[in-house]
Amino acid sequence: MMLQARELAIGYGRMQVGADLSLSVQAGDILCLLGPNGCGKTTLFRTLLGLLPPLAGEVRLGDTRITAQRRAEIARRIAYVPQAHAPPFPFEAQEVVLMGRTARLGPFAQPGKADRDAAQKAMDQLGIGDLAARDYSRLSGGQRQLVLIARALAQDTPLIVMDEPTASLDFGNQAQVLARISGLAQGASPERRGIILSTHDPDQAFALNARVLLMHQGRIMADGPASEVLTAHNLSTVYGIPVTIETTGSGRKVCLPSLHLQSDPTITSDALTIA
């Protein structure tokens, strides 16, 4: 299953947020969206999920335009992991994961043993099986995020869209979530997933060895492997601050932003207005 966007223009009504956007993702891929606030990442996600109609171009899920597919069809092909989730009731963690099975149930159907087994399997796969009976609202931020990823796994879709899956998490929980994301894309077929995620941290794209879509003022500035796209020049231009890229002893690249904006003459006034 492949998700493709071709020459998209995105926005709300007559207000265009982005244009000339093309991408593709399939099982085994990790596509990371990077860009400053307001560059169009969330609007692009909503369009890819079929929640917003494109202003131009098209989104195809498989061989069919996503706008021609029913919500139930889309839900069996793409799962969504939100940035945060506050349940209205104190559900158990497994109940939250079980909600992902609704995409597989008919109207008025109730989840059965096979659905509960699928929910538990998803939690076990992420190493949180022991949290099944815990109050979801009392879990740590990292644990809740893993529960939401487990819900997407229980939905049993070949593609997963994640909106800043490590937002507001501490350092340890960020690492834990990133490790699980990497495992989902690298798993054995047919359980291997295609992942699209957004983040504000370029180091995460390096850690995931992801393909990167670097967005700038509503357009794609660069598209390719993180090691090629996330250069000092590109990041300095997009974020409006001096940036250097260093390589650690283990060979991983890391991004180092400067805290002294005025001292670097290579950052233009145009770049400084982007942030």
Helices (H) and strands (E) in the chain, counts: 10, 12
What would the pLDDT profile of 195-215 be if each residue is shown by its tens digit? Answer: 999 999 999 999 999 999 999
Q: Where in the chain is the domain with CATH 3.40.50.300?
A: 1-76+158-170+194-230
pLDDT bracket for residue 109 (50, 70, 90): confident
Q: Using CB atoms within 10 A of its CB, is residue 32 exposed (0-12), middle (13-18) or buried (19+)?
A: buried
Give the integer Cα–Cα distance in Å for 5 and 209: 22
pLDDT > 70: what percent of the chain? Answer: 93
Q: Taking a C-beta distance cutoff of 8 angstroms, is the pair 4, 184 a contact?
A: no
Residue 171: pLDDT above 90?
Answer: no
Q: Using an 8 Å Cβ cutoff, are 165 and 157 in contact?
A: no
Those residues with Cβ within 8 angstroms of residue 124's Cβ, 6 or more apart along the chain or in another chain: none
Q: What CATH number does the domain located at 1-76+158-170+194-230 have?
A: 3.40.50.300
Question: For 140-168, how does the pLDDT look when each residue is reduced to its tens digit (9 = 90+)?
Answer: 888 888 899 999 999 999 999 999 988 87
Q: Is the pTM of this model over 0.75?
A: yes
pLDDT at position 261: 56
Give yes or no for residue 17 having a pLDDT over 80.
yes
Whether residue 226 is predicted with pLDDT greater than 80 in this model: the reply is yes
Distance CA 120, CA 128 (A): 9
Quick one: pLDDT band at residue 232, thresholds 50, 70, 90? very high
Question: Which range (60-74, 129-143, 257-271) has the least confidence?
Answer: 257-271
Transcribe 10-56 into DSSP letters: EEETTEEEEEEEEEEEETT-EEEEE--TTSSHHHHHHHHTTSS--SE
